[in-house]
Amino acid sequence: MQLRAAEFFAGIGLMRMGLERAGWSTVWANDIDEKKWEMYRANFNEGSCEFVLGDVHNIDGKDIPDIDLATASFPCNDLSLAGARHGLAGTQSSAFWGFIDTIKGMGRRRPPLVLLENVAGFLTSNDGNDFRDALLALNELGYAVDAFLIDAVRFVPQSRQRLFVVGTKVKNDCLREVSPMLMQSDLRPPALADFIFMNPEIGWAIRDLPSLPSPSIKLQHIIEDVPLNSELWWSKERCDYLLNQMSEKHRAEAERMMAGAKWSYGTVFRRVRNGRSMGELRTDGIAGCLRTPRGGSGRQILFCAGKGTYRVRLLTPRECARLMGADSYKIHVPLNQALFGFGDAVCVPVIQWIAENYLNPTLQALRDLPLALPQSRVNVTYKEQRKPKNHKA
């Protein structure tokens, strides 16, 4: 089965990498960031995919080739807890509407599947109105929608929860009702299940999904062997300053690590608490969520301790790549450029899992029975598409 995808907001190409592992070919891609494009083209054969460098608002749907899937990891800056929470009306996250306009412009060639990815905060942005508006926009294009949350920690040693939406094109603007029995699960926790229940005007198509895998690797398994004389290691003065930024609880944990007979590893983020910059140490073998290094606080610090001493440095780009499941990614750019690229990216094995367990079987069902509903143990009925509450005739 030939599987063709278009990758909107492609970034450094980790969505493409995950899809390729599940048998997909990316035939078209777009991003506005030239530095991310530099990393993208260093890792993928330019001849196999048309890459459009520019604003999504300027893309004509008629120029998109025939595809089976359109993916959109649109900017999260206005949606995340770490951002300004301006929502889909914000300067960057409003790019979502450019994506919608482009898909609309494809007319009858609109792909059978759409995949959105964003931060978990998308669910509650502007009291849930942004998420509702986005799903209704997909409904208006003929897509029934499903939503689920996946934390990358089920695949890699990084805590990175993301919200995913799958849109499945259905016939004659008829959308499916949801079966309430299957809404709440590990992938649809109470907050998301409640949203589904409370928004019956949205055309839902909830698919039963298998359990997520159990994590098998820890932070220690992705650490690079950096020589002791490397300039990457911080000076004693800088290390001591970080240690003094820790609370009594975190300082005690750091000292416990130092007293160990073997080396152990943790990560540190600097956060402002009560007007003071504090170093928060995490020692459960899981890295915090990789972020873009805006202002310096987004840089994740590696804390190595044992045998009566400790060492400190930033996570390297290669370690960041491993935390995103992109172990073999080629990195030939400066540190900050690499950190920005990976901080904005998707986790590769998460995308592979979604493709293998959702996108591929759904597309196969649509091809085998074009009018069928690709559900698994879900009781569904057709219903006419309902208009949004604020819709004006």
- Torsion over CA: 306, 311, 317, 318 (sign): negative
CATH architecture of 4-214+346-384: 3-Layer(aba) Sandwich (3.40)
Q: Share the mean pLDDT of the chain.
A: 87
Q: How far lies 32's CA from each of 7, 29, 46, 263, in Å?
A: 12, 11, 17, 42
Segment 299-310 mean pLDDT? 96
Q: What are the tokens at 261? A: 């007979």
Q: Is the pTM of this model over 0.85?
A: yes
As a whole number, mean pLDDT of residues 321-332 equals 98
Contact 305, 243 (CB under 8 A): no
Q: In the chain, where are the structural domains located? A: 4-214+346-384, 225-315
- Alpha carbon separation from 58 to 12, 38, 90, 177 (Å, rounded): 20, 21, 18, 35
Determine the pLDDT at residue 368: 84
Element (H, E) at 272: strand 264-273
Q: CA–CA separation, 347 vs 321, rounded Å?
A: 9
For range 200-225, the mean pLDDT: 93
Q: pLDDT, tens digit, for every residue of 26-43?
A: 999 999 999 999 999 999
DSSP string, 8-23: ET-TTSHHHHHHHTTT
- What are 94-150's pLDDT values in tens digits? 789 999 999 999 999 999 999 999 999 999 988 999 999 999 999 999 999 999 999
Positions marked active-site: 76
Within 13 Å and on the Cβ side, how many CA atoms surround 97? 10
Q: CB neighbours (10 Å) of residue 114?
A: 24
**Confidence tier at 75 by pLDDT (50, 70, 90):** confident
Residue by residue, DSSP assigns 321-385 as HHHTT-TT----S-HHHHHHHHHTS--HHHHHHHIIIIIHHHHHHHHHSTT----SS----EEEP
Residue 186 pLDDT class (50, 70, 90 cuts)? confident
